[in-house]
Structure formats: C-alpha cells, structure tokens
A = this chain, B = another copy of it.
C-alpha cells in the first residue's frame, strides 16, 4: 500500500473511481485551511503519481483544475506553486509572541528606527565574521570527516576541537590542560547554566556576582535556583574583602563587564586566597580577553589555581554570538557532574560547527582573524575616544585598554543615567545606562560599545550624545 508524505495522502482512502476528484479536493482543502501557503511547491507530477501508485495523468489533471480555480500556478523552472489567496480565509492561528526573557547582554526592547546608531555593549562587529574562511573550513570538514564524526558523539565535545582548544588555551591564555579537561559548551551562558545546576545539586543556594555586572547572568542564576549576591566593583575590580560566605563567585578578570576594569594583581591574589582558604569556586568568565590594544595580555586566573578556578570563554565576541560555541575547563572534582548536566541538556554540541572551529584553530585562521579584527577595533576605539574628547570633554573614560566597550562617567555629577540614555535615544543613539547593570545604587555612567560601528558613525553618535546631554 503506497502513499506519500505530501499531505499524508493515502490512495487507499480514495474512492475506487474519481481519484482525480479526490486529489483535487485534498490539495484544495490544504490550501484553504493553511497547511499549504503562498509559494509552497506541489510535488512534481511524476513523483506524486509514483508515490500514489497512480497514472501521471491523474495528477496532471488535478493540478490543472487547481490552476483553473486560481489556487496554484505552473511556474517555469519552479513547478507548480501555491498562489497568494486574494479572498478572506481563516488566518492561521495567531500566537502571541512570548515576552522574550532578557538576553546576555541586555537587549534593546524596541526595534531601532532607521538612522539610529546602536552602541549597545556586548556585540562584536558582525560584519567582520570570516565568511570565506568559515566556508573553506567547512568544505575541508565535509571532505574529511568520518561517518562516525556525525554520529552520537562524546557529550564533552569533538575530540578534535578539544585538542585544538587545549593547545590554543595553552598558547594564548597560559592554561595547562589536557584535551580531556575541556568541555565544549554552547557559549558562556551554557557554561554558567551547567555550573549553576551542579552547584544546586551540591546544595548551594547563592552565588556571588560582580555589581555592576552582567544582568543576563544574574537572571540565569535565578532561573536555576541560585540567588545572585552582588559584590562591589571598584577601580581594581571585584572588592574581594566584601565577598560573602558563598560557595562560588563569577568574575570577569580580563575586562570587567561593564566597567572595563582589569582585576588588579593584589585582588587576584586575594581572590585566589579566598578560594584556597574557604574552598570556594572561582568562575573565570574570560570576557573580552582576546580584545586588547595597548597593554600586554592579562594572564588567565586559572593557571594560578587550576584546582579552584573554572575557566570559561566563547567565540561570541570573536566570531559571532550566533555561533553558540564555547569552552569550560573546570577543576577535576567538577568534571563528571558537568558532563552529566551537559548530556542531560542536549547530549552534546552540534558536530559540524565544532569541527569547523577546530579546523580554523588548526590552520591558524582563527588567530589571523583575531589579529585582523583587533586592528580594526583599535581604530574604532581611538575614533570614539577622539570624539569623546572633542564633544564631551567633561567625561571621564575608563576601561579603554581592552574589550569592545568603554565606560563614561561624569565625576561629581548626580545625573540619572537612565534619563541620560533615554535622551540619547531620542537624539538617535543607543547606549546603556550603567545602572541597568547594577543591583545596588551607585555612580551614574554610560556603557558604550564601539566594535560594531565604523569611525564616522562613532563620531556622529558622540556628537548626538553630547547634544542630548548638554541640552
């Protein structure tokens, strides 16, 4: 008893005579109730006839009737396609778009009008994504991958990628890790989710976070049942002596989000002592470590205390956030629980993008990309600094030596930074008020991302910003 996936047509359900009528009615019904919509292609007559075990003439005749009814049309080269319906028909069920939870980083809620310049922090220059290199690497992967590479894989990730990452983390971030210690994750957000689940399973109820810090990370911890406890950040980074009694703390030592501060050597020592003395876990979000301009790289924390630090990073700021591809290196006692959590979440990350990233690392293309992008971003940062000096000379700028954003504050001002950001938006430029990223009151400030805008746009944006603030 043959049949076809197309509309689940079953010729056994058709009358003994009148197959053409039956087929015509079935397709007509699908067009009218919305299962087929404008632009959908009907199967080729030869194919559908074979599937239905009928003569091709039956299908040709049915299609012709539908053409006559104005429901479909034969298009040269495209076969028979469904036409837009000109009469009122019941619409497809309307579904309210769920109120999107806040993303990492805080998203713009309203669509941007034309001409508005978006300087939200946390987004790289998506136009710089290395499309040609990615396609070349994908071609190599599809040529060389074994069939087993495409099967149910190790939940920890592809062995090839973990090997490349272990080498790359060693060369560029000083981590001494074996490939077996690297867990491939869907970005830092998933690394934090897996750590949060593991902490919860060990009876943790709270986790310390930087304040100001990532609002998305705080909300994620709440989802997983951990209470985020804000710890102040000053000019040296996290104020370690203010750490409460919690089993873990998340820090961004290389370029604090959103202040851009680098964790000072003294604070690094204090933080590692806190972990050693109390047995707490330091989660090192290696945020923006790859983007540094006029200073030597800040070494990662993890090599100083691998048994106390979980190190995580991703390609979200180096390639694109849509990659959802990152890594997590945790102390030995955490491995099994984290792998179990990863397995229970998604069985492991997709194979092909992992193999492509491995190929980009192996060939050196990833490092060449970082180098190219760094030069461009430095020029953008310099353009932003020049514009700030010219149009907002009273502003104090910090966090400029690295990263994709900087922080502007106004010493002695008691301005409302939310109101400032709202005025800026009216003037056609989007920046983040620092207080969006705080849980407790503090000095006002504006967080300005510069990676995604060329110098002339940055110049124009700061001119608008100054007009708005000086009004």
Question: Which A positions have Cβ atoms within 8 angstroms of B?
Answer: 1-13, 30, 33-37, 40-41, 47, 92-95, 97-101, 103-105, 107, 123, 126-127, 129, 131-132, 134-135, 138-139, 142-143, 147-156, 167, 170-174, 176-178, 180-181, 186-187, 189-190, 193, 220, 223-224, 290, 292, 294-297, 299, 320-325, 332, 335-336, 339-341, 343-353, 364, 367, 370-371
Q: Which residues of B contact A186 (CB under 8 A)?
A: 186, 345-347, 349-350
Are B95 and A3 in touch, CB under 8 angstroms? no
A426 CB to nearest B CB, Å: 23
Q: Which residues of B contact A129 (CB under 8 A)?
A: 147, 150
Are A8 and B103 in touch, CB under 8 angstroms? no
- Alpha-carbon distance between A148 and B224 when the two chains are bound, in angstroms: 29
A151-B346 in contact given A10-B297, A95-B335, A174-B7 (Cβ < 8 Å): no
A99-B336 in contact given A36-B171, A172-B6 (Cβ < 8 Å): yes
Are A107 and B353 in touch, CB under 8 angstroms? no
Q: Which residues of B contact A296 (CB under 8 A)?
A: 1-3, 8-13
Are B104 and A152 in touch, CB under 8 angstroms? yes
Selected from B94, B178, B190, the residue in CB contact (under 8 A) with A345 is B190
Further contacts, 18 of them, CB under 8 A, given A131-B142, A223-B341: A1-B295, A3-B296, A5-B171, A7-B174, A36-B171, A41-B364, A93-B177, A93-B181, A99-B336, A100-B343, A101-B339, A101-B343, A103-B155, A127-B147, A135-B138, A151-B321, A186-B350, A190-B345
A322-B151 in contact given A98-B339, A173-B8 (Cβ < 8 Å): yes
Are A171 and B40 in touch, CB under 8 angstroms? yes
A56 CB to nearest B CB, Å: 17
Which residue of B is nearest A180, CB measured? B95
Selected from B103, B178, B364, the residue in CB contact (under 8 A) with A347 is B103
Are B335 and A322 in touch, CB under 8 angstroms? no
Question: Could you give 14 example pairs across A and B, Cβ below 8 Å?
Answer: A2-B296, A6-B172, A7-B174, A13-B296, A34-B176, A35-B170, A40-B167, A95-B178, A100-B339, A123-B152, A135-B139, A150-B320, A150-B322, A190-B345
A5-B297 in contact given A154-B100, A350-B350 (Cβ < 8 Å): yes
Q: Which residues of B contact A176 (CB under 8 A)?
A: 33-35, 92-93
Are B151 and A5 in touch, CB under 8 angstroms? no
Query: Which among A4, A151, A294 has the highest number of chain B CB atoms within 10 Å?
Result: A151
A303 CB to nearest B CB, Å: 9
Are A223 and B344 in touch, CB under 8 angstroms? yes
Are B297 and A3 in touch, CB under 8 angstroms? yes
A122 CB to nearest B CB, Å: 8
A142-B152 in contact given A98-B339, A178-B95, A343-B101 (Cβ < 8 Å): no
A107 CB to nearest B CB, Å: 7
Which residue of B is nearest A374, CB measured? B5
- Alpha-carbon distance between A12 and B350 when the two chains are bound, in angstroms: 42
- Alpha-carbon distance between A121 and B345 when the two chains are bound, in angstroms: 22
Selected from B142, B193, B299, the residue in CB contact (under 8 A) with A8 is B299
